[in-house]
A and B are shown apart, each in its own frame.
Chain A
Amino acid sequence: MEKKNNVSKPIPDQIVEEALGIIQEQKIFDKETIEGLEELWRSGDLRRAERIIRVIKPKPET
Chain B
Amino acid sequence: MNILELEIHNIRGIPYLLLKPDSRNLVIWGLNGSGKSAVVDAIDFLLTGNISRLIGEGTGEISLRKHGPHIDHKAEEATVRAKIKLQSIKEPIEIKRCIDIPTEIEIDCEGKYKEYVEFILWNAKKGQHALTRREILKYIHAEPRSRAERIQDILNISDIEDIRRALVTVRNKAVDEHSISQSSVGTAEGAINATVGQKTYSEVAVEEFVNKNRVILGGKPISEIKAENIQKGLRKPADFTSIKGINANLVEKDIENIKSALSNENIDEVAKNDKALREIVANIRADPESYKTFSRLKLAEMGIKLIDESGSCPLCDNDWKPGELAGYLQDKIRKGKEFAESSKAVSQFSSAISGQINNIIASVKTLVTTAEKMGMEKEKSVLQSWIEEQEELLGLLSSPLEKYPNDKYSADSVRIMVAPKGIGKTLAHISEVIKEKVPEATPELNAWDALTRLGENLKALEKAKGNFEESALYLKRANSLHDNFISSRDRILGKLYDDIRDRFVELYRQLHKDDEGEFKATIKPVGAGLDLEVDFFRRGNHPPHALHSEGHQDSMGICLYLALAEKLNKGLINLIILDDVVMSIDIEHRRQMCNMLAKSFPDRQFIITTHDRTWANQLKSEGIVRSKELVEFHNWSIEGGPQVNYGVILWDQIVESLDKNDVPTAAGQLRRGLECFFSEVCDSLEAFVRYNSSHRWELGDWCTAAIRKYRELIKKAKDAANSWDDHDTIEKLNEREKISSAIFAKSQAEQWSVNANVHYNNWTNFVREDFVPVVEVFKDMCSLFVCEGCGSMLRVTSANHERVNVCCRCGKESWNLTKNEGNKK
Contact = CB atoms under 8 A, between A and B. Distances in A.
Contacts of B489: 15, 19
A33 to B, nearest CB: 7
Interface in A31-62: 33, 37, 46-49, 52-53, 56-58, 60-61
A26 B478 CA distance: 13
A56 B167 contact: no
B485 interface: yes
Q: How large is the interface on B (under 10, 10 to 19, 20 to 34, 35 or more residues)?
A: 35 or more
Interface string B86-122: 0110000000000000000000000000011001000
Interface stretch (B151-159, B603-611, B808-816): B151-159
Contacts of B167: 49, 52
A10 B163 CA distance: 15
Contacts of B477: 28-29, 33, 56
A6 B160 contact: no
Given A48-B166, A52-B167, A1 B88 contact: yes
Contacts of A11: 155-157, 160, 492-493, 496
Q: How large is the interface on A (under 10, 10 to 19, 20 to 34, 35 or more residues)?
A: 20 to 34
A24 to B, nearest CB: 10
A28 B476 CA distance: 7
A3 B478 contact: no
Interface of B: 87-88, 115-116, 119, 155-157, 159-160, 162-163, 165-167, 169-170, 173-174, 466-467, 470, 473-474, 476-478, 480-481, 484-485, 487-489, 491-493, 496, 569-572
Given A12-B163, A49-B166, 9 more contacts: A7-B570, A11-B157, A11-B160, A12-B156, A12-B157, A15-B489, A19-B489, A37-B481, A52-B167
Contacts of B493: 11, 15
A29 B478 CA distance: 10
Contacts of B162: 47
Listed from nearest, the 7 A-B pairs whose CB atoms lie closest are A3-B88, A49-B169, A47-B162, A18-B488, A19-B488, A12-B159, A19-B484
A27 to B, nearest CB: 10
B478 A1 contact: no
A19 B491 CA distance: 11
Nearest to B489: A15
A2 B166 CA distance: 33
A1 B569 contact: no
Contacts of A8: 570
A61 to B, nearest CB: 7
A14 B170 contact: no
A57 B474 contact: yes
17 contacts: A4-B119, A11-B160, A12-B159, A15-B488, A15-B489, A15-B492, A16-B163, A18-B488, A23-B481, A29-B480, A37-B481, A46-B163, A47-B159, A48-B166, A52-B170, A58-B473, A61-B466
B474 A58 contact: yes
Given A56-B170, A60-B470, A47 B163 contact: yes
A7 B572 contact: yes
Contacts of B466: 60-61
Given A15-B160, A48-B166, A53 B173 contact: yes
B88 A28 contact: no
Contacts of B569: 7
Contact of B88 (A2, A47, A60): A2
A7 B436 CA distance: 86
Nearest to B158: A12
Contacts of B119: 1, 4
